[in-house]
Amino acid sequence: MSTSWPWPSGAATGIGSLPGTDIVEAVRVVLGELPDLPHLPELPDRGPGADLIGRAAGLLVDMPVEVYANRWRVAARPGHDLRVAHDLLERDLDAVTEQAADYAGSFKVQAAGPFTLAAGIELPTGGPLLRDPGAVRDLAGSLAEGLRGHLADLAARLPRATLLLQVDEPSLPAALAGRVPTESGFGTLRRVEESTARSALASIVDAVGVPVIVHCCAPDVPIDLVRGAGAAAVALDLTLLEDLDPLGEALDAGLGLIAGAVDTRTPGGRPPSSTQAATRVREVWAKLGFPAARLPEQVVVSPTCGLAGTTWEYARAAMAACRDAGRRLRED
């Protein structure tokens, strides 16, 4: 079992997305509220190219995309939509360079994974790219190459930071279960074999050269698959966790956990307090039967999912609750 994880004890982080359109302010707030494991904010309110699919599609190498009928699809050549995605990401990196050039510590960046991209990008002839196994293989290879370059660019901008990559795969459970709808919506695509999914994720882990976290906010996170792909950690929503056995086995084998413990589904109300969030994490840890001293080292506290659908006040309070919960776990 590993006894070292790529973050400081008692750390907290965000899943990625935040409300609004001001990237400089978003970076500044993340650095202030989540100092032990800040992340590159994602601001989907800026429109196509800043969304989950378009942002990662902009990283693809030799696989241009475009927006057609409000959906991303494979394009014949790079065009306006791809330039917008590239420009938005460049602005984000410039903001990080401006605000955090001397940052020395763990720093996380996020991107949609190959199966979420394959479910969200359409083929030129229509229908999700996921329906074509050969196209999925090409996409996974293209994404791995693009992520490697993206991380190299970020490493040059933050030379003292230790980078982590979070691969967002909300569509992975549906792809594995054969629940991704066809273009008509009247059927579903053939399920993806676990070995295929594991191999694709492993190719990204191998390519990027930094610790990889696989994030999934669905109820049925394929934890064994994530561990088998060589990821350093899994990020999930503790409130949706039903079967603890797969998680316990993975943690016992050394997998790190980004524990979604601060709710993102009540933007009109108050976020849970840091006490409530810490208690939620402790209760799961106690059920698993692991030593309490290992908890703040192996587990990072986070919101249950992205915060783009909340207000800035709620998002900031949620990040503060995560930060203080992590410190409570370390100090208790």
| Contact assessment for residue 87 and residue 98, using Cβ atoms and an 8 Å cutoff | no
- CA 110 vs CA 10, 226, 285: distances in Å: 21, 16, 26
pLDDT score recorded for residue 160: 96
pLDDT score recorded for residue 3: 60
Pick from 84, 100, 115, 106: nearest CA to 37: 106
Give residue for tokens 């039967």.
289
Higher pLDDT, 326 or 1: 326
pLDDT score recorded for residue 151: 98
pLDDT score recorded for residue 219: 87
28-51 burial string, b = 16+ CB within 10 Å, else e? bbbbebbebbbbbbbbbebebbbb
Q: Give the fold, CATH level 3, of 23-331.
A: TIM Barrel (3.20.20)
Minimum mean pLDDT range among 2-6, 53-57, 262-266: 2-6
pLDDT score recorded for residue 268: 64
Pick from 196, 160, 192: nearest CA to 177: 192
DSSP string, 247-308: HHHHHHTT-EEEEEEE--S-TTSPPPPHHHHHHHHHHHHHHHT--GGGHHHHEEEEESS--T
pLDDT surpasses 50 at 70: yes
Alpha-carbon torsion 34, 35, 37, 40, what sign?
positive
pLDDT surpasses 80 at 152: yes
Mean pLDDT of the chain, nearest integer? 95
Confidence band of 1 (pLDDT split at 50, 70, 90) = very low
Q: What's the rounded Cα separation, in Å, for the pair 18 and 41?
A: 6
pLDDT score recorded for residue 2: 46
179-191 pLDDT, tens digit per residue, is 999 887 788 999 9
Question: What's phi and psi for 72, nearest 5 deg?
Answer: -80, 140
The structure's pTM equals 0.96
pLDDT surpasses 70 at 127: yes
215-243 pLDDT, tens digit per residue, is 998 889 999 999 999 999 999 999 999 89
Q: What percent of the chain has pLDDT over 90?
A: 90
Minimum mean pLDDT range among 52-56, 184-188, 257-261, 295-299: 184-188
Compute the chain's Rg from CA coordinates: 19
Give residue for tokens 């230790």.
162
pLDDT score recorded for residue 291: 94
State the number of CA atoms in the 13 A half-sphere of 232 facing the CB. Answer: 23
pLDDT score recorded for residue 267: 60
